[in-house]
Chain A
């Protein structure tokens, strides 16, 4: 089955700096790659996603890049703010008509004010 590896497990940055979280996946049939943010004690929420026919997608301060050849995708957060502090999960799924996400192990991002 699919395996998603996520690095780093923890990341501490100064407010205003950029943060990058990287994921690799194993199944070349995967075609959908969402990122979820989970604040402490809260539910996971989608922040951005990318499909395999696109190499990059941006939404204000966040962006995701996808390298299908290397089976690698990354989340980039620019101008980090304290409210960006949370656990971020990458995930992958393939087009089987069924909804089953394989999640990475998560990255705890701490933005120091």
Chain B
């Protein structure tokens, strides 16, 4: 069974640009969550999607958005990039609908903003 796939793995952008990151969950998983990982702030929850609906959103500005498609694939978008957006963006999928159970993480998309 294929794991969670994230693309692109690495990207470099400049301030003011926007970026779109993609996540393909494990087959059969309908819940997709996104986390931002930085050395200073650790792992922070961005949002969660289930059946194409955003179910929960973390404490991030509106520049951060996402969506989920009918095949459970998800994308997140960051507009008007700032230097502080440089981070590893991790996508995780899960089988369960509740708040428990394993999250299966992808290898992440490492974004550098210059």
Contact = CB atoms under 8 A, between A and B. Distances in A.
A46 B102 contact: yes
Interface residues of B, number: 27
A99 B48 contact: yes
A44 B37 CA distance: 11
Given A43-B107, A104-B42, A98 B90 contact: no
Interface in B97-114: 97-100, 102-103, 105-108
Contact of B56 (A32, A34, A98): A98
Given A32-B100, A49-B100, A94-B99, A99 B108 contact: no
A96 B42 contact: no
A43 B108 contact: yes
B60 to A, nearest CB: 12
Interface of A: 1, 31-32, 34, 36, 42-46, 49, 51, 89, 91, 93-106
Interface of B: 4, 31, 33, 35, 42-45, 48, 50, 55-56, 58-59, 90, 94, 96-100, 102-103, 105-108
